[in-house]
């Protein structure tokens, strides 16, 4: 039989306090009567909670608002610099870090090329250096920084902070959280990059409570995350979202996960670049019909990345168009499977590949339309991500903030 949990008065008071804070974060500046109405609380309860928050300098008064008949009400808001989160997006090509304040606004950012992630310990020293650099930019006490949240590709064991397997980095069982904790003066949290990105996109789109969002990261690799309301669906063993490793071509190229023909091996940024390189290499330097890929890369296969193949397509190169169209077709097939299985109401396409012009989205949509089951996913709205290059780093901050909220560990 299901156990019912008893909630005592202290817990109710705590829940009410957190709801008031959430209301101030989302709708502030706001007056006490409006908070009471919004949350269905009594005015004395809201008065009591806001007095406590004012005393702890978590919130502040910004003066009188507009009267709706009686005395003009006092407007309250969260003090933005009361605390901060640091978020890192450790990608295969770039490391991006941000600091976000108490009202979820990005207040600092740093980026640098990832370069060689080996040896691991030396690389982790670099990561710690980036965290300390961005913390220094905040010019605040360390106890106001609630933590550093790291988003990276691969399978992460969140409870222990271990990177179980990251094919992009060639890492197995790296205790990243432990190594970083020894080097920086605030808590460290780890999450998969696709999940961090998904949380940020859901936040930017609003309406967190009423949607099921499937967010896909189409970049150097391909990954995804399912967000139900505001909660990440992680799966029984924490590995959900690996859409990049569904089989697209059973006899296709070997994927770095060890399988053959994964979606990531045929349609990711890395796969598009690899196909572009082989086009270049198949044509000799003096080839009369040299492709635009060879021209743009000045004959150097190392210069071929996905963006270059997209540029060659724009210039009318047929081989580049074939590569890009094939990627869109396969991505569309993968997403139509996800739609058939999940029936989400929002499908958000993010990542570097989506920054190559609206035609790519249209190609993917056309492929989805061709391959999804006729009556499946009738409600799904497909859009591109809104968060830009720092979306995953901001998402890492949201992972941390959600965790502190859930465990009621905010410093209030």
Interface region with Zn ion, contact rule CB under 5 A, candidates 110-118, 239-247, 272-280, 333-341: 239-247
Alpha-carbon distance 194 to 198, whole Å? 6
Least distance to Zn ion, CB of residue 257, Å? 3
Helix (H) or strand (E) holding 367: helix 358-371
**Distance set, CA 174 to CA 78, 165, 179, 320, 391 (Å):** 38, 8, 9, 38, 25
Residue closer to Zn ion by CB (options 195, 245) is 245
Least distance to Zn ion, CB of residue 258, Å? 7
Alpha-carbon distance 34 to 362, whole Å? 43
Q: Which residue has the tokens 């590569």?
A: 323
Residue closer to Zn ion by CB (options 245, 294) is 245
Least distance to Zn ion, CB of residue 201, Å? 24
How big is the site for Zn ion, counted in residues (CB under 5 A)?
Answer: 5
Interface region with Zn ion, contact rule CB under 5 A, candidates 248-256, 317-325, 351-359, 370-378: 248-256
Q: Which residue has the tokens 């021209």?
A: 295
Least distance to Zn ion, CB of residue 103, Å? 40
Residue closer to Zn ion by CB (options 240, 259) is 259
Look at residues 69, 103, 101 and name the one whose alpha carbon lies nearest to residue 86: 101
Contact string (CB under 5 A) for Zn ion, positions 250-279, x = contact: -----x-x-x--x-----------------
Least distance to Zn ion, CB of residue 260, Å? 8
Q: Which of 96, 195, 245, 277 binds Zn ion (CB under 5 A)?
A: 245
Reduced to 3 states, what is the DSSP secondary structure of residue 175? Answer: coil
Residue closer to Zn ion by CB (options 156, 180) is 156
- Which string of DSSP letters, residue by residue, matches 79-126? -GGG-EEEEEEE-SSEEEEEEEETTS-EEEEEEEE-----SHHHHHHH
Least distance to Zn ion, CB of residue 221, Å? 9
Q: Which residue has the tokens 């502040």?
A: 60
User: Which residues sit at the interface with Zn ion, rule CB under 5 A?
Assistant: 245, 255, 257, 259, 262
């Amino acid at each position: 039989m299901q156990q019912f949990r008893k909630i005592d008065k202290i817990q109710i008071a705590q829940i009410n306090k957190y709801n008031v804070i959430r209301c101030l974060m989302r709708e502030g500046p706001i007056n006490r009567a409006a908070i009471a109405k919004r949350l269905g609380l009594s005015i004395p309860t809201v008065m009591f909670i806001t007095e406590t928050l004012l005393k702890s300098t978590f919130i502040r008064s910004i003066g009188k608002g507009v009267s709706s008949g009686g005395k003009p009400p006092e407007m309250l808001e969260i003090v933005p610099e009361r605390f901060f989160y640091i978020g890192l997006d450790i990608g295969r090509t770039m490391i991006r870090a941000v600091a976000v304040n108490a009202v979820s606004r990005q207040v600092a950012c740093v980026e640098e090329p990832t370069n060689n992630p080996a040896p691991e310990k030396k690389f982790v020293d670099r990561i710690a250096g980036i965290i300390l650099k961005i913390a220094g930019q905040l010019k605040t006490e360390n106890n106001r920084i609630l933590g550093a949240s790291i988003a990276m590709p691969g399978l992460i064991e969140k409870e222990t902070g271990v990177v179980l397997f990251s094919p992009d980095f060639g890492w197995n069982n790296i205790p990243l959280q432990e190594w970083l904790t020894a080097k920086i003066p605030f808590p460290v949290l780890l999450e998969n990059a696709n999940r961090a990105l998904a949380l940020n996109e859901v936040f930017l789109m609003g309406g967190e409570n009423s949607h099921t969002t499937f967010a896909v990261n189409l970049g150097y690799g391909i990954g995804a995350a399912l967000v139900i309301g505001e909660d990440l669906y992680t799966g029984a063993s924490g590995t959900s979202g690996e859409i990049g490793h569904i089989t697209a071509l059973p006899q296709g190229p070997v994927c770095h996960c060890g399988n053959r023909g994964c979606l990531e091996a045929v349609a990711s940024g890395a796969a598009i670049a690899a196909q572009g390189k082989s086009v270049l290499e198949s044509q000799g330097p003096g080839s009369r019909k040299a492709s635009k890929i060879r021209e743009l890369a000045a004959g150097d296969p190392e210069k071929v990345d996905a963006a270059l193949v997209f540029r060659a397509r724009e210039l009318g190169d047929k081989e580049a168009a074939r590569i890009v169209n094939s990627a869109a077709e396969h991505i569309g097939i993968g997403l139509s499977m996800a739609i058939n299985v999940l029936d989400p109401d929002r499908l958000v396409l993010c990542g570097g590949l989506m920054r190559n012009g609206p035609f790519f989205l249209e190609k993917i949509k056309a492929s989805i339309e061709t391959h999804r089951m006729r009556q499946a996913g009738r409600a799904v709205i497909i859009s591109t991500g809104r968060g830009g290059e720092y979306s995953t780093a901001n998402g890492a901050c949201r992972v941390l903030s959600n965790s502190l909220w859930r465990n009621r560990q905010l410093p209030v």
